[in-house]
């Protein structure tokens, strides 16, 4: 089983004066995982300082051929016995598999959604949950799941992964609590080990530099000075005000 994950975090700012950021995360093929295998293969979003539990929803896009996994767990580090698992594009991209693990009581069902993922195109999703146990999943503007758990699990952690031969590039939306002058105002700055600082004309050029390096976690791009900083992989994402 391959349990390797490459993190690609790109700090972007969508529009002037808008605090909406996207975190890009690449999940490698974690091998023969399925909704019933242990939680070890999931990447906790808390690793990226993302806490979707605070708002009880996860808005993201994912580009993968099949088998994009999301776990909603009762533990922040996902080491829990109680969780929900949603497999988007299960059965060779033909369905969604939903599973609830609660002690030994397992509920599992499939929803037919042929071609829900696309190997070459980012597909957008919105997963919401409530304390009263309602879980909904939107695929684009279409509601593909609306289920209510009679015995709701309290969600503390969210994780993602891909498996069974599939790799995924995720863009997770989040509201930045940070303002800085990296790439306009507001911006976010990754305060971590830098591999290099190079002059680049645009953020896109800076991002493409990162994409071809396995040791790159993400970038900081300063629009004013055109400084492109390459952040080293293998570390936790820490954002700060500069
Ligand atoms: C899930 O994977 C485990 C091995 O990791 C396997 O034993 C089990 O049969 C699989 N379950 C399904 C439903 O494919
Ligand atoms: C998976 O689906 C694709 C596209 O529909 C098809 O070409 C391929 O043969 C399928 N693979 C399996 C193992 O069923
Ligand atoms: C995936 O998206 C591409 C580009 O939009 C499209 O041409 C292709 O038909 C899509 N594939 C599937 C299986 O929907
Ligand atoms: C999910 O939650 C977000 C944030 O509260 C909200 O904007 C959105 O409308 C919700 N979606 C659904 C389908 O309830
Ligand atoms: C989900 O279903 C329930 C009842 O089954 C309904 O009251 C609710 O409005 C639905 N949620 C959405 C977002 O459509």
Tell me the per-residue pLDDT of 176-234, one tens digit each, with 9 for 90 and over: 443 332 333 334 566 667 888 999 888 778 878 877 776 776 777 777 788 888 877 66
Q: What is the pLDDT of residues 9-51, one digit of tens each?
A: 444 433 333 345 566 677 777 776 666 666 667 888 877 667 8
Q: How far apart are CA 205 and CA 218, in angstroms?
A: 13
Please determine, looking at this structure, whether the domain spanning 19-176 carries the CATH number 2.60.120.200. yes
Is a pLDDT exceeding 70 seen at residue 238?
no
pLDDT value at position 227? Answer: 83
Q: Which atom of ligand 3 is nearest to the CA of 121?
A: 2
Ligand nearest to the CA of 165: 2
Q: Looking at per-residue confidence, does 202 or 111 come out higher?
A: 111
Mean pLDDT over 108-119 rounds to 97
Q: b/e map of 10-34 (b: 16 or more CB within 10 Å)?
A: bbbbeeeeeeebbbbbbbbbbeebe
- Whole-number mean pLDDT of the chain? 78
pLDDT value at position 90? Answer: 95
pLDDT value at position 67? Answer: 93
Q: Looking at per-residue confidence, does 180 or 158 come out higher?
A: 158
Q: How far is CA 60 from CA 45, 85, 169, 174, 203, in A?
A: 12, 16, 10, 9, 21
Q: How far is CA 114 from CA 32, 147, 163, 221, in A?
A: 22, 20, 18, 39
Just give the CATH number of 188-241. 3.50.4.10
Percentage of the chain modeled with pLDDT above 90: 39
pLDDT value at position 4? Answer: 31
pLDDT value at position 239? Answer: 52
Q: Averaging pLDDT over each range in 62-66, 167-171, 238-242, which range is the top one?
A: 62-66
Strand partners, 44: 159
Say yes or no: CB of residue 136 within 6 Å of ligand 5: yes
Q: How far is CA 232 from CA 15, 47, 155, in A?
A: 27, 15, 31
Q: How far apart are CA 225 and CA 58, in angstroms?
A: 34
Confidence of residue 6 (pLDDT cuts 50, 70, 90): very low
Q: Which atom of ligand 5 is nearest to the CA of 134?
A: 1
- CA–centroid distance, 149 to ligand 5, in Å, is 13
Q: How many CB atoms lie within 10 A of CB 236?
A: 11
For the chain, what are the domain ranges? 19-176, 188-241
The pTM of this model reads 0.74
pLDDT value at position 237? Answer: 54
Which regions of 66-176 does DSSP assign to beta strands (E)?
Answer: 68-73, 83-89, 95-102, 105-112, 123-129, 134-139, 142-148, 157-162, 168-175
* Cis ω for the linkage preceding 186 (within 30 of 0): yes
pLDDT value at position 149? Answer: 95
Mean pLDDT over 104-115 rounds to 92
CA 82 remoteness from chain centre = 20
Least confident of 61-65, 67-71, 100-104, 231-235: 231-235
Say yes or no: CB of residue 121 within 6 Å of ligand 3: yes
pLDDT value at position 19? Answer: 40
Encode 17-63 in three state secondary structure: CCCEEEEEEEECECCCCCCCCCHHHCEEHHHHCCCHHHCCEEEEEEE
Closest CA to 166 of 72, 83, 62: 62
Residue nearest to ligand 3 atom 5, measured at CA: 121
């Amino acid at each position: 089983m391959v349990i390797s994950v490459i993190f690609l975090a790109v700090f972007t700012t969508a529009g002037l004066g808008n605090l909406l950021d996207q975190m890009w995360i690449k999940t490698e093929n974690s091998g023969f995982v399925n909704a019933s295998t242990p939680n070890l293969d999931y990447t906790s979003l808390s690793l990226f300082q993302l806490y979707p539990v605070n708002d009880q929803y996860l808005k993201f896009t994912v580009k993968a051929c099949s088998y994009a996994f999301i776990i909603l767990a009762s533990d922040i580090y996902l080491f829990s016995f109680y969780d929900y698992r949603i497999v988007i594009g299960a059965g060779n991209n033909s369905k969604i598999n939903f599973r609830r693990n609660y002690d030994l009581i397992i509920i599992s069902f499939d929803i037919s959604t042929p071609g829900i993922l696309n190997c070459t195109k980012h597909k957008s999703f919105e997963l919401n949950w409530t304390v009263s146990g309602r879980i909904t999943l939107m695929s684009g503007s279409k509601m593909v799941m609306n289920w209510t758990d009679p015995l709701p699990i309290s969600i503390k952690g969210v994780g993602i992964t891909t498996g069974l031969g599939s790799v995924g590039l995720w863009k997770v939306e989040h509201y930045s609590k940070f303002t800085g002058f990296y790439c306009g105002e507001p911006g976010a700055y990754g305060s971590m080990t830098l591999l290099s600082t190079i002059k680049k004309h645009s953020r896109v050029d800076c991002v493409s530099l990162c994409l071809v390096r396995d040791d790159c976690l993400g970038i900081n791009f300063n629009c004013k000075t055109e400084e492109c900083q390459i952040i080293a992989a293998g570390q936790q994402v820490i954002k700060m005000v500069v």
